[in-house]
Structure 1
């Protein structure tokens, strides 16, 4: 089998590579590089050719397909950083007040209630 021969791959693997390649091309990766990356991803995911005669079947590993997503996209916290410090401080105080109001003391209230019931 010559290098780059895809005869050992199943139709599903070929479709997979095609979809991955399209995704790379959409992002502006050159065609040849996109194809190489796509097949590298398929190999990493499926463990190489899956057709009969190409060795034992192996479980698929989805991690390589998910890997790139974490790199792009807007980073969190930018909107908060743009707000003035006074506004951030005010909303933090408001949130703290709400938390303490909703918490209502918890165990200390129970203890106080027990003490008052003991006295009578």
Structure 2
């Protein structure tokens, strides 16, 4: 943990590290995961002196973003998201369609 971290972030770091170790993650990797997670939280909440432009622009997690920004150049919903929507709408032949075909079938 960086010097000057709040007691809350110290507790968060320990909690994440211990949880990872309990699930069988090696100690070094558990420490790295905990540090990265806590640092991202600190950057997103403005506690860190420096923060990446990405974390400041949109501090939401990947699951909250719904796949957006998960790959460089990727635009719009994932194939799985399109497939789920096609299933909801009852699109015939959806299981053999690729992403582009699913998007066209849904009128996107």
Alignment TM-score, normalising by the size of structure 1: 0.37
In terms of fraction of residues, the more helix-rich structure is 1
Alignment TM-score, normalising by the size of structure 2: 0.41
Q: Which has the higher contact order (CA 8 A, sep 6+)?
A: 1
Instruction: Point out the structure with max Rg over C-alpha.
Output: 1
